Structure formats: C-alpha cells, structure tokens
A and B are shown apart, each in its own frame.
Chain A
Amino acid sequence: MQERVIMSDQEINNELLRSVFEHPLRFWVGAGVLGIFAAMWLISLSWLIYWGVGVTGLNRPVYWGFLITNFVFWVGISHAGTMISSILRLTQAEWRRPVVRAAEVMTVFSLGTAALFPLIHTGRPWRAVYWVFPYDFMRDVFPNVRSPLIWDPSAIFTYLTGSALFVYTALIPDLAVIRDRSTGLRRTIYGALALGWTGNTRQWKLQGIAGVLISALILPVFVSVHSIVSWDFAVSIVPIWHATVFAPYFVVGAVHSGVSAVLTLMAGMRWFFKWEKFIRPEHFDAVGRLLIVIATVWLYFFFLDFVFAIAAEETRELAVMERRVFEWPYWFLLVEIIILGYLIPVGMWLKRSVRRNIKLMFWSSLLVNVAMWSERYWLIVPGIERKYELKFSWSFYNPQLVELGLVVGSFGIVVFLLLMFSKLFPPIVLWEEKEGQRFAANVKIGQAVVPAIVKEE
C-alpha cells in the first residue's frame, strides 16, 4: 500500500505553509540558538580582521589550514543539493518531491558560505576581492586567467547563480499560493515576487520544461565546480596534491558528504516541522540505498589516492603519505575517516530496517560529515606542511580558537539561513506534492496491492 497519505490541494497548502504562516516557540528557540552560532562566527571574523592572520595557526609554508578546509567542505556540501534535485528531476524519480527544494536551497546557502572563506582566510578580505571584481579596465591590470584561483570564483559564481535561479524558477508558483492567502504588505511583497503567476496551462508547461532544461544545464556545472576546486590543489607542485585523480575524487567526496547532508536536512525538517506525511521512511530508504553506492565509489577513490602516491615512487610523495598514515594526528584522522565515513554508516545502511529508521539515518549522516570534514583536512594540511624538500622549511599547523570559531560558526550560519528561508518560503515544493498526489495509485496484481505512480509518457 502507499505510504503516502492522500490529501487535497487545500490540505497540502495548509500543512506545508505552516512554516510560513505560524510562529511556534520552537522556531524562535531554534533561531536564537543558531543566532548564537552566527554571532560566534561574526565575533571570530571581527577578531581575525582586527588582528590579521597572525591570530590563526597559519605559518610559512602552511598558508592553507582550517579555513580553506572549511571552504572545500562547504563547496562539497553544496554539491549534492542541486545534483540530487537535477538527477531526480531528469529521471522523474518520484521520491524527489519532498527533497528537491530543501536540497537546492542548501546548495545556495552552503555555496555562499563557502565562497566567503577564501576571502576571510586572507585576513584582509577587502584586499582580496579586487583581484577578481571589478576588473580594473582603467589600468589594464587583470587577474591571471591561467591561475586556478581565478577559475574557482568563475565556477562558483556560475554554480551559485544557476542554483539560485533554479530555486527561484520553481518557487514562483508557490509564491502565488502565498500571495493568494495573504493580505496587506505581505501580499504586495509575495505578489511582486510571484510576477503575476496565474497557473495557466502555458505557464505549467514551461515550468515543467524549465525544470528539465535547467537540470540538464546545471549538472555539468556541478561536476566542473568541484573539479576546479580540486585543481586549486592538483595543478600545484605540492607533494600529494599534484594528482590527476583529484578531480573525480573531490567530486565523489562532495557527493558523499552532500547527499548525507541532505539526509540530515530531511530528518531535521521532518522533526522540526512535523512533516511525517511528506518526508516518509520510503524517502530515507531511497537516499540510504543511493548512499551505499556513493560511499563505496568514494572509498575506491580514497584508496586510489594511496595507489597513485605509492606507484609514482616519488620520495616526497611517499614521505607525505607516510606522515598521513603513521604520524599523529593524521593516523588518527585516517582511522576516523574510514570508520565514520564508511564502515559504520554503510554497515548500518545495508539493513533495510535501519534505512527506514529516521533517527539512525540522521546520526549516521552526521557521522559521514564529521569524517568528510576530517578528510578534507587530511588531504590539505599534511602535504603543505612538507611543501619544500629541505627540513628547515618544514612546519606544523596548530589551528587556533579564532579558526575554530569561524568553522563552527559557519555551520550555525548555514542552518540559520535555512531556517530563515523556511520562515519566508515553503521548503517543500507545493505544486510538486500536489502533482504527486494526482499520479499516486494502488495497482492490484493478483492478490497483491502494489503502490504505483502513473507517469505521463
């Protein structure tokens, strides 16, 4: 039988617009707690800007530490959102319906947060921005387009703009629903944002085509962004970083952490907004099955990185790999990455009963992201500590409190922004849910009743 609860359009509106029209205490408590994290981020940022990079653990030659690790991590998280949404839309997967918008919005906020970190890590962000924007046409002084540090902002800008437009395009019909249920200033604002949408056949037809078309366009961008982020490292001559496998390895790692983050978000939304009727165990089951495959591909690339280091028989490569595997704290991180990033979660997801247990799925998805943050750190820092061949240039990196504040605060900021989004807009696509209801059916085959979805050819 269908796990889906059959509801009318009006009931769907009422349920999914609760987050916009109601103001329960838990919202204010959530906003307050997350606000504290956001404040911690702002205080840390102010401290860093006031005192400069000297208050961080960065030194020569370790110029990239916690903040760049966090940048790579958030770019990774941003990946799964639009990827999940695009692939599921293109393949017309039915379980996309409650997931796509929250995933896309997570992409926008995590990518925006990620983009701040390369600027922040310079300690003087205003002096970093002008490298790229605006172009100095007056003096003919331009950024070097041969540098991956220029490719990176161009890729992130494309992905961020594309993802934001993707979210907005699918949001227009829902904005019209809010408009029609509002009065006064709220109606004027939502009315302006809805652009005069009426929901005629032409508009719905184009909305459907737009979903497929933008999905098809944004998927290659998604692959390119994390490839280009990996080239920040791979086109350098730092030992271990200089690896051809980095681009696909980063992309798969991003998908692993991002899809897990979508799982965390789904569990959080189901609990916070009490949307048990919309985000159901069958959805967690589907994401869990997908994650088993993604995690295994990631593990393959993870070990491929070892193989490449060993196969080349480069002394420096081997030395850094030895440091990663046998020296504190990197050996500990390696064990943690494998156990938390693969063995425990995948071991859990193999069981159907676990995949349908929301609490276990929530905690297992958090474990993956703890491991994936560590993996980014494990990939970036050991190599740069041994960037130069001679021992007097070797160094160690000890992250400082201000960096920790910025990293932890960034989690608060992303979740805070997601919560604020849910206050202003429905995090589940109303019209997709309504359409899904229309196509749901129970098909009787012999004595069995099979839940089915009728699809338009």
Chain B
Amino acid sequence: MADRAVIGVFEDVDDAASATQSMLDNGISGEDFDILSSSPFPHGSFGEAERHHNLYVFPLIGAACGFITGVLITAGTQISWPLVTGGKPILSIPPMLVIMYEGTMLGAIIFTVLGVLFESRIPSAGPRVYDPRVTAGYIGVIVSGAEEMVRRAAQIMTDSGAEDVKFDEEGKTINLLEDPEDQ
C-alpha cells in the first residue's frame, strides 16, 4: 500500500502538543510525524524525534578546498612566472598566507551555506502536504506513512482541536510557487 500524508493545522500550540502526545501514546512514533511552524521551537516541544545531520562536516570540506585553491593561486602563479624581486625567494610565504587564509574562510562559508541547504533538503520540489497558515503562526503537524496510521493520526488531530486536517493527493506534491486556489 502506498504511503499517505496528512497535515493537521492548529491555532494553539498546546493543542498541537497534546495531539502529538496522543499520537505517541497511540503507537505513532516521533519519526512518523513532523512539525511545521513559522519560528523555531525548543527541541522536544512536540515530542518529535531528533533528526541527525552532518552539517559540521561541510565547513571542514569547504575550508580544505579553499585552502588548496589559495595555495594553487599563490604558489602556482609565482612559480609559473618566476620573477626574482630584490633577491627574495620566489615563494614568499607570509603574503601567500593572507590569500590562503581568505580562500580557506571563503570555502568554509560557502560550503556551510551549501550544507545548510542540503541538510535542510532545499531546494525542494514541494511537500506532499502544506498549509500557508503555518507562516502566519499556526502549527502544522504532518504525519506520513501507512494509510491506516495516517487515518488514525488524522482522527487524533481532529479530536485534539485541529482547525483543519488535510490529506495529500496520492502521488502528488504541492507546488509552492502557485496560488493554492489554482492547484
């Protein structure tokens, strides 16, 4: 059976928290649901599972790439045009360090941002369920998985005071670039 998804939209944070608690009590694990909000909440506010990420690796890779680029630019260009100035060595390390440092930091910053995008799974084609009221302060609780579990979760959310409960359209994602009315 194909996976389904449902979103429950809550105006009140406490209602959303009580819905997720009921879901946990009814055997729906923290891995099966996710919370959408318009600003960050402290971890565990809704009993959601901790998601693992590897963001810290990205700046290290970026720094290494940036450093190597810095070395290639500084050492490479000086060696390819070896002009002796004032009897000094061709490879003058102290000034090279400046550009190598900037290259390292630039690489680290660019890769950090790329890492944030990658680990946040954006850009994305669009979620399976979404509600624009989330960015207006509502809490969205998304449950995805087997149809039976999703229907059970929908019932729990309705009972817990969800203002709206919407199912996905099978096999479709929502295009966030289009007006909801046009879809």
Contacts and interface: CB of A to CB of B under 8 A. Distances in A.
Interface in B82-134: 85, 92, 95-96, 98-99, 101-103, 105-106, 108-110, 112-113, 116-117, 119-127, 130, 132, 134
A158 B103 CA distance: 8
Looking at chain A's contact residues, the main secondary structure is helix
B39 A435 contact: yes
Interface stretch (B40-48, B150-158, B162-170): B40-48
Interface string A5-40: 000111001000000000000000000000000000
Interface of A: 8-10, 13, 135, 140-143, 145-147, 150-151, 154-155, 157-158, 161-162, 165-166, 168-169, 172-173, 176-177, 179-181, 183-184, 187-188, 191-192, 194-210, 213-214, 217-218, 220-221, 224, 228, 430-432, 434-435, 438, 456
Top 4 A-B pairs, shortest CB-CB distance = A9-B137, A180-B132, A434-B39, A196-B124
Contacts of A210: 55, 112-113, 116
A104 to B, nearest CB: 13
> On chain B, which size bracket covers the interface?
35 or more
B78 interface: yes
B179 A183 contact: yes
A438 B95 contact: no
Nearest to B131: A180
Contact of A195 (B46, B59, B101, B124): B124
A172 to B, nearest CB: 8
A217 B59 contact: yes
Contacts of A150: 99
B105 A154 contact: no
B101 A206 contact: no
The residue among B59, B74, B101 with the most chain A CB atoms within 10 A of its own CB is B101
Nearest to A225: B102
Given A142-B81, A221-B105, A169 B113 contact: yes
Nearest to A190: B177
A224 B102 contact: yes
A142 B39 CA distance: 49
Contacts of A195: 117, 122-124
Nearest to B138: A9
Contact of B95 (A146, A155, A179, A194): A146
Contacts of B122: 172, 195-197, 203
A218 B109 contact: yes
Contacts of B172: none
A141 B78 CA distance: 10
B113 A165 contact: yes
Nearest to A139: B81
Nearest to A11: B137
B81 A141 contact: yes
A344 B17 CA distance: 54
A217 B109 contact: yes
A196 B178 CA distance: 12
B39 A187 contact: no
A169 B177 CA distance: 19
The residue among B39, B56, B121, B176 with the most chain A CB atoms within 10 A of its own CB is B39
